[in-house]
Structure 1
Amino acid sequence: MSRYRGPRLKISRRLGELPGLTRKQSKKTYPAGEHGQQVRKPSEYALRLEEKQKIRYNYGLSERQLLKNIKLAKKVQGSTGVILLQILEMRLDNTIFRLGLAPTIPSARQLVNHKHILVNNQTVSICSYQCKPGDIITIKDKKSSNLIVKKHLESPGLANLPNHLEINKDNLTAKVNGIIDRNWVGIKLNELLVVEYYSRK
């Protein structure tokens, strides 16, 4: 099952800041659980697993979806880790989150599933839809859709808009200008460890 329904703060305490999963911040600096305060040097496997889990929880993917994206990234020429991040960042649910139209990726996924989003004047209800340069993203011309998005725009999840996206907040229209650059990825992680994790399986 792809959607995580458990406590999100517990995950962000264990893995670090995950802007796509939750906006809540814990005052506790150590991981959740009875062994959270014990300081132990993590093994190489543990480090790779942690980076993989960061990607999974931040983008809201199942193990199967992530493995599928890894295989896709390996077929493309270039750095597999960077291409994987570009594939995940160009997903429709993540693009809506990065535009500030939703506070988190699960919230953006709900907007897509409930058919509030149009891509090139066509209703798209598939969260994993890959946005391409030149795509125009608009909000359905319904009062309820506009109210939800305007409320989210008042307090966006991430402050900085990536350089490959542009948005007109007056008429709620956004455009994808290109493929995201690695420097603009919203999550701090070492993508090479994720590739290594799957290459050893």
Structure 2
Amino acid sequence: MARYTGAKCRLCRREGQKLFLKGDRCYTDKCAYERRPYVPGQHGRRRSKVTDYAVQLREKQKVRRMYGVLEKQFRAYYQQADLKKGVTGHNLLALLEMRLDNVIYRLGFANSRDQARQLVRHGIFMMNGHRVNVPSMQVKEGDVITVREESKKVPVIQEAQEVIARRGCPDWLEVDGSALKGEIKSRPVREDIQFPINEQLIVELYSK
């Protein structure tokens, strides 16, 4: 599966906002965005005129990069959200939030979505008693995610307990840090997503 393999801090600088792509490092003074909070490249410090289209595009790119989704897959999520009942923008964010790799990250079993994706690929997690290895899988209300018994000694997983205690867990999820077990209590609503996102700009972009 294709994925972005370049410098992650460069993406945060391009979007002019922390996307927390490197987990705990983003909270330290080592964060590249904190040291160089301007667009990367030779002309990064220049001011340029921003059109309405550019604002919409940057919002879409920000969300796409934050969740680690490529353009073709992101557009498919939008089309799926557009067919559902309700507000298209809210449906889009809910679909992204309910990806398995994002849920693993939200539960605190990984420091970043990229790390969660790698762990899922290695088959470390089980969902409803079955081993899973597809990061883009959509979870459902009532699904239970656990760490395989033989994988609980993996250093990254052992560090997860500290991450859970420090970061907390969204209201639509429930986590048992000692047992490394998480459950999807409900479908996420717009209020559950605290990161500053203007999903209406993405809808306007794709509606053209």
TM range (shorter): over 0.9
Q: C-alpha root-mean-square deviation of aligned residues, in Å? A: 1.8
- Picking from 86, 99, 103, the partner of 1:91 is 99
CA distance in 2, matches of 1:32, 1:157: 34
How far off its partner does 1:159 sit? 2.1
Matches within 5 A, 1:22-33: 22-23=22-23, 24=26, 25-26=31-32, 27-33=35-41
1:149 aligns with 2:150: no
CA distance in 1, matches of 2:193, 2:40: 26
How far off its partner does 1:2 sit? 3.7
Matches within 5 A, 1:130-169: 130-143=138-151, 146-155=154-163, 159-169=167-177
**Paired residue for 1:17?**
18
Task: Specify the SS of the correspondent of 2:92.
Answer: helix
Matches within 5 A, 1:92-111: 92-111=100-119
Q: What CA deviation, in whole Å up to 9, does each residue of 1:64-89 have, x standing for no partner?
A: 10111111000111110010000000
- One-letter amino acid of the counterpart of residue 60, structure 1: G
Higher share of residues assigned helix: 2
- Picking from 77, 80, 88, the partner of 1:80 is 88
- One-letter amino acid of the counterpart of residue 150, structure 1: Q
- One-letter amino acid of the counterpart of residue 19, structure 2: L
- One-letter amino acid of the counterpart of residue 177, structure 2: K
- One-letter amino acid of the counterpart of residue 18, structure 1: L
Compared CA separation, residues 175 and 86, structure 1 to 2 (3 A): same
Which structure has more RCO (C-alpha within 8 Å, separation ≥ 6)?
Answer: 1
Q: Gaps (5+ residues) in structure 2? A: none
How far off its partner does 1:143 sit? 4.4
Q: Which moved more, 1:181-190 or 1:45-54?
A: 181-190
Task: Specify the SS of the correspondent of 1:142.
Answer: helix
How far off its partner does 1:102 sit? 0.4
1:190 aligns with 2:194: no
Native 8 Å contact 2:152 2:158 kept in 1: no
Q: What CA deviation, in whole Å up to 9, does each residue of 1:14-69 have, x standing for no partner?
A: 111112x2233221221211221112231111111101111111111111101111
Q: Gaps (5+ residues) in structure 1? A: none
Task: Specify the SS of the correspondent of 2:167.
Answer: coil
Native 8 Å contact 1:56 1:66 kept in 2: yes
How far off its partner does 1:181 sit? 1.9
- Picking from 107, 116, 128, the partner of 2:136 is 128
Identity %: 36
Q: What CA deviation, in whole Å up to 9, does each residue of 1:105-143 have, x standing for no partner?
A: 110001110000100001111111111111110001104
**Paired residue for 2:8?**
8
- One-letter amino acid of the counterpart of residue 123, structure 1: R
Relative to the length of structure 2, the TM-score reads 0.89
Relative to the length of structure 1, the TM-score reads 0.92
